[in-house]
Amino acid sequence: MATSFVEQGGGRIAYEVHGQGPLVVLSHGMGEDRRSYRHLIPLLVDAGYRVASVDVRGHGDSSAGWPTYAPTEVGGDLLAVVRDLGGGPATLVGNSSSAAAVVFAATDAPELVNGIVLVGAFVAQPNNPFLRLAQAVVLRSPRLFGLFHRTLFPVHRPADDAAYRRAMVAALRRPGRMAAVRGVVVPVEPHWTAQAPQVRQPVLVLMGAKDPDFRDPAGEARAARRLFEVAEARMISDSGHYPHADRPEAMAAELVEFLAVTNRA
């Protein structure tokens, strides 16, 4: 599938589009790229949706060297893609660090967003000093990030997982890429949790039941749900931090049910 680009604030954002129908925009987490959704996209296309998978700024084929990678700006990038594709409205899906971005997008341009999905969202910043130190080390080495990434699949692993990770690590060795990885998780204000009560669209919170990034994944999902006016939380069993990769059929089933609501006339 051909890569498209949209100019945005002195850089460019890469994305690719599959299928026809109501628009769904997918945004990946730190260190990955739009191929993170490679197993989910065909399922959504088969269900009748037009799916745009985006490379977050500084990742994949999007340009590097941005002055900021804050979720407000990433959310603006997603809105730029929606506008480039005719203005939607679109349902935005954000995994991990991108979960914050879809919250800001929903409040910044509500006319372009008919619903948001947060996958593996972090309600609170990690407060364990050891974990913060470990994160700082991992986020300076493509190889160590690749090793860490592998731990986020505690049960199931895609058949092409090793090949995907090799390509991901190679991409992270390009100039400016690890700076972008660190940039998307820099603490900023306002935090997305302060913005969440302003969201008026339907919200779905999805969480892998065995996501190793959380001591209590179900509790984290409930905490995220309570921040919104209208939201539902669903757990995906036997899944880690990337349910769209390790249990794509289960995630697609949850998304298709939610999309029927967000695209109701």
**Extents of the domains making up the chain:** 4-262
As beta bridge partners, residue 25 has 52, 92
Residue 43's pLDDT is 98
Residue 130's pLDDT is 52
Alpha carbons within 13 angstroms on the beta-carbon side of residue 5 total 11
Q: Report how far apart, in Å, the C-alpha atoms of 13 and of each of 63, 76, 82, 212 are.
A: 7, 11, 12, 30
Residue 136's pLDDT is 75
Contact yes or no for 176/65 (Cβ under 8 A): yes
Rounded distance between C-alpha atoms, residue 79 and residue 4, angstroms: 15
Closest CA relative to residue 152, chosen from 247, 224, 219: 247
**Residue 19 φ/ψ region, left for φ over 0, alpha for ψ in the -120 to 50 degree band, beta for the rest:** left
Residue 187's pLDDT is 86
What is the CATH code for 4-262? 3.40.50.1820
Rounded distance between C-alpha atoms, residue 81 and residue 102, angstroms: 13
pLDDT in tens, the chain (265 residues): 689 999 998 899 999 999 999 999 999 999 999 999 999 999 999 999 999 999 999 999 999 999 999 999 999 999 999 999 999 899 999 999 999 999 999 999 999 999 999 999 999 865 555 556 667 778 889 999 999 999 999 999 999 999 999 999 999 999 999 999 999 888 888 999 999 999 999 999 999 999 998 889 999 999 999 999 989 999 999 999 999 999 999 999 999 999 999 988 5
Residue 132's pLDDT is 63
**Which residues have a Cβ under 8 Å from the Cβ of 216 and sit 6 or more positions away?**
none
Contact yes or no for 21/50 (Cβ under 8 A): yes
Residue 186's pLDDT is 87
Rounded distance between C-alpha atoms, residue 3 and residue 21, angstroms: 19
Type of residue at 256: V
Rounded distance between C-alpha atoms, residue 197 and residue 177, angstroms: 33
3-state helix, strand, coil in the chain (%, to 5): 40, 20, 40
